Amino acid sequence: MVASASAAKKSPAVGGEEMSDGSGSRMGVVGALSLSVTSSVAIVICNKYLISTLGFFFATTLTSWHLMVTFFTLYVAQRLRFFEPKPIDARTVISFGLLNGISIGLLNLCLGFNSVGFYQMTKLAIIPFTIVLETIFLNKKFSQSIKASLMVLLLGVGIASVTDLQLNLLGSVIAVLTIAATCVGQILTNQIQRRLKVSSTQLLYQSSPYQSAVLLVTGPFVDKLLTKRDVFAFNYTVQVVAFIALSCSIAVCVNFSTFLVIGTTSPVTYQVLGHLKTCLVLSFGYIILKDPFSIRNVAGILIAIFGMGLYSYYSVTESRKKTEAAGSLPIAAQMIEKDSAPLLGAKGSPRPENKAEESFDYMPRTAKSAFTGR
């Protein structure tokens, strides 16, 4: 009787703690999503001025500077004890960084060797390919409601942003490689954080030097191939340097929020968020910059927003059902499951962690090219 009374007294405390953790996790996810949207839209505006007004067309090289500044910022932060670095085995983090760097370079090449319309189609294809890969290799299940809402979203973004569709063999091959590298990279961003129990900050700190190194070496050649101009021969005025510094500062938030969003939600949710950014950037151009638009553009944005609303509704509903199902488990089982959850990287994830998968034997994608805002 004494044990029963004691257990009865402790049960509400455990439930209250879980409710507090759930509320904190939701607030963390909302904060990550908000930071991602705000910083991405800001960097698009900054970089659009760099390109259109100041004539700085060197996207890949600029992205390498973004990653280099991100690394040094995180280095100072860890020296000041804002976070504790966590070692990751060299093979994993180097492979991870190289893949991300290659992915960014491929995105820029894809835009350079394809029409804008085909490039937009390439970005739209990332979501269905991610779903296919996660279904095959991670046994993840996506409900029909989620799939239908994503189809509505992709239809809307396609109507709003896809114009011409000019195909060529080289551009198509680059597009396929871009999709593969981006999908695998974003899935690994999520899986590394969950399986190795590292936070988004720790993972970004460990991988950003390798990503930056890849782009520092290849960036000038890629940019010269695409623009026929030499980044080292550019006239760096005070205004250009000031906007490059501003772009690099915003990129720290973009890179950090990218890892944070993918770690606390999923690669598919990050892609949905990316399409929201696209709609916001298009709307900004129509309203503020007076860019030309048509009824088709407006209709596409409205359809996309409707699809995002459906995706959010079904995601929250399914997450709530999973939470309620987990809440019906015995207290001991809940405590075991809670102890096996990742520390920081996937705190907001509704999916339980499989302890048998804590070892990570195979080798994410940082913020996409700053010029795409994705």
pLDDT digits (tens, 9 = 90+) for 28-47: 788 888 898 999 889 988 99
Share of the chain above pLDDT 90, in %: 54
- Residue 354: partners with Cβ closer than 8 Å, 6 or more residues away: none
Closest CA to 104 of 133, 71, 63: 63
Q: What integer is the mean pLDDT of 262-270?
A: 89
3-class SS of residue 263: helix
Grade residue 22 by pLDDT with cuts at 50, 70 and 90: low
Q: Tell me, what's the pLDDT at 344?
A: 33
Q: Tell me, what's the pLDDT at 64?
A: 95
Between 210 and 24, the higher pLDDT residue: 210
Distance (Å, whole) CA 53 – CA 59:
15
CA 241 and chain centroid, separation: 27
- Residue 92: partners with Cβ closer than 8 Å, 6 or more residues away: 192, 196, 360, 362, 363
Between 357 and 50, the higher pLDDT residue: 50
Distance (Å, whole) CA 106 – CA 180:
10
Q: What is the tally of helices (H) and strands (E) in the chain?
A: 12, 0
- 176-181 long-range Cβ contacts below 8 angstroms, 24+ apart: 177/106, 178/103, 178/106, 178/107, 178/109, 178/110, 178/122, 179/122, 179/125, 179/126, 179/129, 180/129, 181/99, 181/102, 181/103, 181/106, 181/365
Structure tokens, 104? 């960014």
Q: What is the pLDDT of residues 152-177, one digit of tens each?
A: 999 999 998 877 667 788 999 999 99
Highest mean pLDDT among 24-28, 243-247, 318-322: 243-247
Q: What is the pLDDT of residues 189-210, one digit of tens each?
A: 999 999 999 999 999 999 999 9
Residue type at 178 in one-letter notation: T
Residue type at 229 in one-letter notation: R
Q: Tell me, what's the pLDDT at 352?
A: 41
Between 84 and 365, the higher pLDDT residue: 84
Distance (Å, whole) CA 283 – CA 295:
13
Among 3-17, 217-231, 265-279, name the one with the lowest average pLDDT: 3-17
3-class SS of residue 340: coil
pTM of the complete model beyond 0.85: no
Four-point Cα dihedral 257, 261, 267, 271, nearest 10: -70
Structure tokens, 276? 């929201």
Among 30-34, 187-191, 310-314, 360-364, name the one with the lowest average pLDDT: 360-364
- Stated length of the chain: 374
